Amino acid sequence: MDFIILVAIKLTIGFIALVLFMNLNGRSQLAPTSTEDQIGNYVLGGIIGGVIYSPSISIVQFLIVLLIWGLLMTVTDFLKNTNKRVKKMIDGQVVYLIRDGKMLTENFAQATLSIPDFYTKLRTKGVTQISDIEEAFMESNGQLIIIQKGENGYSNLLVSEGNIQEDNLKHIGKDEKWLKDELANYNVTDLSGLFIVEYGSDGKLFIVKK
């Protein structure tokens, strides 16, 4: 009976911890879009699942582990949002497999993607042959994005919450000076006041301020 009560208390604590985590760290954990989101889900699931049925771990110890884990995730979020190198190290970056219709064979190893798996992913997206592809790249969350020839393409995020997305700038063949010159045309000189800056497939900027 005591064991059942202990499990019930731990399960309740774990449930509350999950709810708090989802609300404090954003709903992206419900549909993970980054490496951190995936790891966060795995670790929290492991902590709760491993502790609930272990009578040797007390409720106080369980709470301490959850607190340490929560602090670690909070610190990681802060570092990602303030340091580009940390974000790239944790979440990785986009890996281009095809650009301007040319296959970048050396990048497949970086994306840890075999040719048979690549073909399987193409078929699931309704692409019948590689020669129809203008661009293909692997997002940091493992999703394969395909742009076929003749399509309008996609937008590129150039500024996110005041931070310049250098990889996206490089992709469109621009640099930071070009971005600041363009923003000056919109009377924007302080990037910290920007929520997003999007470069559309039509070559125009879409700006949202905080």
**Selected residue with higher pLDDT from 36 and 93:** 93
The answer, yes or no, to whether residue 90 has pLDDT greater than 80, is no
Average pLDDT for residues 3-21, to the nearest whole number?
Answer: 80
Average pLDDT for residues 108-115, to the nearest whole number?
Answer: 87
Confidence (pLDDT) at 196 = 92
Percentage of residues of the chain with pLDDT beyond 90: 7
The answer, yes or no, to whether residue 91 has pLDDT greater than 80, is no
The answer, yes or no, to whether residue 183 has pLDDT greater than 70, is yes
Confidence (pLDDT) at 168 = 82
The answer, yes or no, to whether residue 34 has pLDDT greater than 80, is no
Burial of 181: CB neighbours in 10 Å, binned 0-12, 13-18, 19+: exposed
The answer, yes or no, to whether residue 132 has pLDDT greater than 60, is yes
Range with lowest mean pLDDT among 55-69, 79-93, 127-141, 194-208: 79-93
The answer, yes or no, to whether residue 32 has pLDDT greater than 70, is no
b/e 40-77 (16+ beta carbons within 10 angstroms → b):
beeebeebbeebbeeeeeeeeebeeebeebbeebeebb
- 35 — pLDDT class (breaks 50, 70, 90): low
Confidence (pLDDT) at 179 = 92
The answer, yes or no, to whether residue 38 has pLDDT greater than 80, is no
b/e 124-154 (16+ beta carbons within 10 angstroms → b):
eeebeeeeebbbbbbebeeebebbeeeeeee
Confidence (pLDDT) at 206 = 92
- 36 — pLDDT class (breaks 50, 70, 90): low
